[in-house]
A and B are shown apart, each in its own frame.
Chain A
Amino acid sequence: KAGVTQTPRYLIKTRGQQVTLSCSPISGHRSVSWYQQTPGQGLQFLFEYFSETQRNKGNFPGRFSGRQFSNSRSEMNVSTLELGDSALYLCASRPGATYNEQFFGPGTRLTVL
């Protein structure tokens, strides 16, 4: 099975712009979670989607949003970018509602100038 794929892999934006990142989970996986990784804050949970519904949200401002489509693919959007949003954004997929194991994609490296 192919792993979790994320596009684009690298992105450079300027402050005030918005960005959309995409994630395709492992085939058959219905849950997608997003994490932000920075040197200062480490790995932090953003949100999780299961069957197109947001099940949980981390402690991030409303500028961070996401959605999941019927084919389980997910997108996350960050509006009004700030310098501090520069990070590696990771997507992880799980097989279903009661499975703990999460498998991560390679991430999207976002740089905000």
Chain B
Amino acid sequence: QQQVKQSPQSLIVQKGGISIINCAYENTAFDYFPWYQQFPGKGPALLIAIRPDVSEKKEGRFTISFNKSAKQFSLHIMDSQPGDSATYFCAASKGDSSYKLIFGSGTRLLVRP
């Protein structure tokens, strides 16, 4: 019940295309859903996050779509660029006394020029 399942494992997109990464969770107590971007040799960087009371959040080219009833959320990267090539992790946490992040397994994105 603590797992967050992420798909696909890897993704290849042409420059200018839309990259879509999906995550699903079981624990309905989760109330915070961030996405992190990680480049080789670097730590994960917070990209965008959403709470369950909102169905969509957009920041620049990055959009989170959230479906509370289906317990799913996804990251859309519009106009994908080669510089977006990285590994993306979804995560979830619950805001009780623990803010520990439960991470998905990651998606390796390659954007071809």
Interface residues of A (CB under 8 A from B): 4, 31, 33, 35, 42-45, 48, 55-56, 58, 90, 92, 94, 98-107
Interface residues of B (CB under 8 A from A): 32, 34, 36, 41-46, 49, 89, 91, 93, 95, 97-106
Choice from B44, B49, B104, B105 contacting A100 with Cβ under 8 Å? B49
* CA distance in complex: A56, B32 (Å): 17
Given A42-B106, A101-B46, A104-B43, check contact A55 B95 (CB 8 Å). Answer: no
Secondary structure dominating the interface of A: strand
- CB nearest neighbor in A for B36: A104
Smallest Cβ distance from A11 to chain B, in angstroms?
A: 15
Indicate if the CB atoms of B46 and A103 lie closer than 8 Å. Answer: yes
- CB nearest neighbor in A for B96: A56
